[in-house]
Amino acid sequence: MATIELRQVEKKFGDLHAVKPLDFTIHDGEFVVLLGPSGCGKTTTLRMISGLEAVSGGTILLNGRNVTWLHPSERDIAFVFQFYALYPHLTARQNIAFPLQAQGESREKIEERISEVAKLLRIEHLLGAHPGQLSGGDQQRVALARALVRRPAAFLMDEPLGALDADFRESMRAEIKRLHVLQHATTIYVTHDQVEAMAMGDRIVVMSDAQIQQIGTPSEVYYKPANLFVARFIGSPGMNLINGHYAAGEVTMAGLDNRYDVPQNWKSALEKGLKGEKGVVVGFRPEAAQINDSGQLVGKVYATEMQGSSAVLHLTINEDEIIHIRTDRLIHYPIDTLVNFDINPQMVRFFNPKTELAIELEVTQ
């Protein structure tokens, strides 16, 4: 079990600041996801924690012990890359035993651990088979068993599901999370896929441009994104963000003469947050808009998408801005139809376009 602490950890490659000084703590038993687009510094951060990459500055603590300059093998951390690489000439059992044999564990201990992990992953009946005889899903389970069998203090996983097709990814995602729920091993999981991050993480560290944009639970990063980047990056489609002008409790928007009455409880926060600035960005999730004939806002149908259990209606509100509304699955609006809608006042957010930061609602009473 492990608590991992990063203090002012940074990485430079020559002139390139790959990771700017960052601080965060991963608590014992926590599943933390490092999420961001490629090149944001998430993998470099993970590699510094594992010891595969030396830090350019800062300190890494494992259970309070400074491990910043320890060799990877001395950190008691298991690094899991993509799951598919099994030794084809070894049976499932031999594949799983491999890391334990490398550690010099006794035969009994190895047997005990293998049967434990095989039971957990429901692969007891497959232990005698070679990888070539197994289905894709079962191969993944064996690979997962091999990673788990060592019982390290913490798991570091770098896009382990990246090479899988969509179906397997979905089922392995649940499988890994289920194992975490049962075992509570401290886990740091790197991905660029926001769906994976939301589905799996106890907390998500959203990164971009070599720095942390927000740390929060899935619900926090989804409903209360700290800035425009997080608002766009999380969700599919991302948060709707409309540029407007704020004056006297009302936001006016370009294009279809849209005026939005700011909910009463937001007014003073907005005035403070905008610091006299006229521009404001109104943000709301696609499911926070309700189609309503007498709705205050209006858009013109650009496209509709039936996505299975629900549909997304795409509306242009001016030449450049398209917004997305999640609706009932069977909708048929011809292109260019005008559609009125309202925004659920509980789910609206505002951002300062200059700083790109969210404006926080003041908590009163």
Partner 1 sequence: MSHIELQHITKNYPGVTALDDINFDIKDGEFFVLLGPTGAGKTTTLRVIAGLERQEEGSIIFDGVSVDDQTPSDRDTALVFQQYSLYPTMSVYDNLAFPLRSPLRRMSAEDIKKKVEETAEKLRISHLLKRKTAHLSGGEMQRVSIGRAIVRSPRVFLMDEPLSNLDAKLREALRVELQHLQKTQGSTTLFVTHDQIEALTMADRIAILSEGKIIQVGTPEDIYDRPASTFIAQLVGTPRINIYDAVRQEDTITIKDSDIHLSAPQGITLQPKFQMGIRPENIKPDPDGKLSGQLILTEPLGAETILHIQSGQSVLLSLVPGMTSYHLGDTMKFNISFDHIHYFGLNGDRLQA
User: What is the nearest approach in angstroms of partner 1 to the Cβ of residue 142?
Assistant: 21
Q: In angstroms, give the least distance from the CB of 291 to partner 1.
A: 16
Q: Name the nearest CA neighbour of 36 among 48, 19, 51, 11.
A: 19
**Residue among 153 and 347 whose Cβ is closer to partner 1:** 347
Q: How far is CA 212 from CA 44, 68, 95, 299, in A?
A: 13, 20, 37, 35
Q: Which of 78, 110, 82 is nearest to 96 (CA)?
A: 110
Closer residue to partner 1 in complex, CB, 306/338: 306
Closer Cβ to partner 1, 141 or 177, answer by number = 177
Minimum CB separation from partner 1 for residue 178, in Å? 5
Give residues with Cβ within 8 angstroms of 343, minimum separation 6: 260, 282, 284, 288, 289, 290, 297
CA separation for the pair 110, 275 (Å, rounded): 64
Sheet holding 31-35, edge to edge: 77-80, 154-158, 186-191, 31-35, 203-208, 211-216
Nearer to partner 1, 174 or 338 (CB): 174
Query: CB 121 → partner 1: shortest distance, Å?
Result: 15
CA angle 147, 158, 25 (to 5 degrees): 95
CB of 219 to partner 1, least distance (A): 5
Q: 289: closest CA among 237, 251, 342?
A: 342
Instruction: Say if residues 264 and 306 touch (Cβ distance below 8 Å).
Output: no
Helices and strands: H and E segment counts in the chain: 9, 20
Q: State which residue, 115 or 307, has the beta carbon closest to partner 1.
A: 307
For residue 78, the minimal CB distance to partner 1 (Å) is: 22
Q: Which is nearer to partner 1, 305 or 362 (CB)?
A: 305
Q: 197, 230 in Cβ contact below 8 A? A: no
Q: Which is nearer to partner 1, 63 or 171 (CB)?
A: 171
Rule CB under 8 A: which residues touch partner 1? 37, 166-167, 170-171, 173-174, 177-178, 181, 192-195, 198-200, 218-219, 222-223, 232-238, 285-287, 302-303, 305-310, 312, 314, 322, 326, 330, 335
Q: Are the C-beta atoms of 7 and 61 separated by less than 8 Å?
A: yes
Minimum gap (Å) between residue 334 Cβ and partner 1: 9
